[in-house]
A and B are shown apart, each in its own frame.
Chain A
Amino acid sequence: MPAPYYVSPEQIMQEKEDFARKGIEKAKEVIVLEYRDGILMVAENPLATVFKISEIYDRIALAATGLYPDYEALRYAGIQGAEIKGFTFNREDVTARWLANQYSQQIGAIYRQPDVKPLEVELLLCEIREDSSSKNRIYHLSFDGTFWEDNEYTVIGGRAEEIAGILENEYSASLDLSDAVKLAARTFAAVETEVDEADRYQVTAETIEAAVLDETRNRRKFRRLLPDELSEMLSA
C-alpha cells in the first residue's frame, strides 16, 4: 500500500485561499454607499433573473459577489435563520451583528473542512440604523469567515481596491439618493474604461442592479430601484 503524500497544513490552507481568491477575482463588483436616508447598494448585473442584492430582514440586506450557488445558499440560510429567530423571540432581536456571526461561523467551518471546496464568496451585510441615535452597520465577510466593519462606502468583487480608490476621492457624506446612484454608476464606468473596448461593460439603467435600505420606509426598509427610476436618476 502506498503511503499517502504528506501535505503540510500551511500548504493546504494556502491552496484553499488561492482557489477562493481566484474565484472572487473574476466576480463582478458591488458598491455599497451610505447616503442621506440610508444605505445604497449597486451591482453590475446584466441579468434580471439573478440578484446580487437581496432583502434579508426588516432592516437588513445582503450584497454578495462570487459564485452564485454559493452566495444564494447563504442568502437562503440568512433569511431562514432570521425569520425563525424573529418568530421565536421578537423582530427587533434579529440584528446584523448576530447574522454576521452566524455567517462567519458557517463560512469558516466550510473553509476549514478537509476535502471541501471553500465558498467563493464575498459578502456585505448591511443594516440600517434604528433611529438617529444609532448608526448604520456594514459587515464585510470574507471567504474564510473573517469579518470586519466598514463604513461610508465599501466595495466587494474582483476590482474592489481599484473602485474603492476612486470612491475615496469622490465620496462625500450625506449625498442624496440620485447623487449616490450617479456616483456609483460613474465609478463603474470609470473602471470600465481600462477594459478592452470589445469586452467593456456598458453601465446603463438596465445593466445595473440597485436597491436601498431606506430609513423613511415603514417596517421593511428594503426597496429595489426599478430600471425606470434608475434611468431617470442617471439622466438627470
Chain B
Amino acid sequence: MVFSRSDHRTSDFLELLQRERPELLSRFGTGAGGTTSLPDSSPANWKGQHLPTSSVMDLYDNLLEGTTILAAVYNEGVIVAGDRQATAGFQVGERRIRKVYEVDTYSAIAIAGVAGPAMEMAKLFQVQVEFYEKIEGSPLSLEGKANSLSNMVKSNLPMAMQGLVVVPIFAGYDLKRKQGKIFKYDAIGGQYEESEYYATGSGGKDAQATLKKLYSADMPRDSALKLVAEALWDAADEDVATGGPDFIREIFPTIKIIDSTGISDIPDSEVKALYTELLDRLRS
C-alpha cells in the first residue's frame, strides 16, 4: 500500500511499528522471541560470577522512578491520580513529572516504575488506542484497550527481568456497562480487574491502606476526591520517595476524573483546596 513497505493492513499500531519501523521499538513490541539491547545482564545470567559491574549499578541508581499512583471507582465513574515526584536513588529526580495521562475521551493510564520506559509506554498506548479508533471508525471496548496494554507490558518482559519494571494502572468509564473500571498489571503483563480501588508504586501500600479504611462503595464525587487526596498524602507521609503537595512551589498531585461525559482534569486550584482542607483537619 501507499507509504508503506507492505500491503498488509492493520488497526494495531504496535504491529505496524514492528513491521515498518522496528528501530523505534528497542524496548517494546519485540515480542516473546524478540531481542533486547542488553542481552547478557539479566539476573538469570548473573549466577554469581557475572554480577553487574559497579558502573551498571550506578546507572540503575540514577534512573528516575515514578512513585505512587492510584485509582478509585466512585458512583458515577472513576478517579485516577498520582503524585508528581520521580526519585533517582536517594535523590529527588524530578518534582513535576506527570504519571497520569489521558488515553482517550473515556480512559486514562497511570504509570509507576522506571520513568523513561513507562512514559514511552503511555505514549505508545495512547497512539495505539487512537489509531484503532481512526482506522476502524469506532473505539475499542474498554476491555479491549486493557488487553492491548497487557500486551505492551508483556513485551517489556526482557527489560523487567533486568529490573527495569513498568507497572501501569488503566482506568476508564465503560459506556456499555455504565460504570468506572480499573485494571491493574504486574511486571510481566498479568492483568487483573479491580472493582473498587487500587494503588501501586513505592507508596502504593500506604495509599492502599488509607483507601481500604475509608473507601465505601457508591461514594459520591466529592468524598471520593477527598479520599484520593488523603491516600496520596499518606503515601507521601510514609514513603520517602513519594512527593506530597508542595505549597511553596505550588506543585500538586495530578487527579483526573472520568464519567459518562468523558475525562476531565481536576484543576490545581481544586486540588490545592482539597489539601488545604485536609491539612486543617489534620492540625485540629
A interface with B by C-beta (< 8 Å)? 51, 54-56, 73-74, 76-81, 83-84, 86-88, 102, 106, 220
Is B131 among interface residues, defined by CB-CB distance under 8 A?
yes
Q: Which 9 A-B pairs have the closest CB atoms?
A: A77-B2, A106-B2, A81-B3, A77-B3, A79-B134, A55-B134, A83-B131, A77-B1, A87-B127
Chain B interface, DSSP helix/strand/loop, else mixed? helix
Q: Which residues of B contact A76 (CB under 8 A)?
A: 1, 9, 135
Contact B21–A80 (Cβ < 8 Å): no
- CA distance in complex: A84, B124 (Å): 11
Contact B134–A102 (Cβ < 8 Å): no
Q: Which residues of A contact B277 (CB under 8 A)?
A: none
* Contacts A51-B137, A55-B134, A79-B131 given; does A84 touch B1 at CB 8 Å: no
Contact B127–A74 (Cβ < 8 Å): no
* Contacts A73-B1, A102-B3, A106-B2 given; does A87 touch B17 at CB 8 Å: yes
- CA distance in complex: A78, B1 (Å): 11
Is B4 among interface residues, defined by CB-CB distance under 8 A?
yes
B155 to chain A, nearest CB (A): 16
B105, closest chain A residue (CB): A220
For the side of the interface on B, what is the size category?
10 to 19
Q: Which residues of B contact A55 (CB under 8 A)?
A: 134
Q: Which residues of B contact A78 (CB under 8 A)?
A: 3
Q: Which residues of A contact B124 (CB under 8 A)?
A: 87
Contact A84–B9 (Cβ < 8 Å): no
* Contacts A51-B137, A84-B20 given; does A77 touch B131 at CB 8 Å: no
B interface with A by C-beta (< 8 Å)? 1-4, 9, 13, 16-17, 20-21, 24, 123-124, 127, 130-131, 134-135, 137
Q: Which residues of A contact B21 (CB under 8 A)?
A: 84, 88
* Contacts A102-B3, A106-B2 given; does A54 touch B17 at CB 8 Å: no
- CA distance in complex: A55, B16 (Å): 19
Q: Which residues of B contact A220 (CB under 8 A)?
A: 130
- CA distance in complex: A84, B127 (Å): 9
Contact A79–B127 (Cβ < 8 Å): no
Contact B24–A54 (Cβ < 8 Å): no
A105 to chain B, nearest CB (A): 9
A57, closest chain B residue (CB): B134
- CA distance in complex: A76, B131 (Å): 10
B109 to chain A, nearest CB (A): 16
A84 to chain B, nearest CB (A): 6
B133, closest chain A residue (CB): A55
Q: Which residues of A contact B131 (CB under 8 A)?
A: 79, 83
Contact B16–A80 (Cβ < 8 Å): yes
A50, closest chain B residue (CB): B137
Contact A84–B17 (Cβ < 8 Å): yes
Known: A74-B2, A77-B3. 17 other contacts (CB 8 A): A54-B134, A54-B137, A73-B1, A77-B2, A77-B4, A79-B131, A79-B134, A80-B4, A80-B20, A83-B127, A83-B130, A84-B21, A86-B127, A88-B21, A88-B24, A102-B3, A220-B130
Which residue, of B2, B16, B20, B123, has the highest number of chain A Cβ atoms within 10 A? B2
Partner of A80, one of B3, B24, B123, B130: B3
Contact A84–B135 (Cβ < 8 Å): no
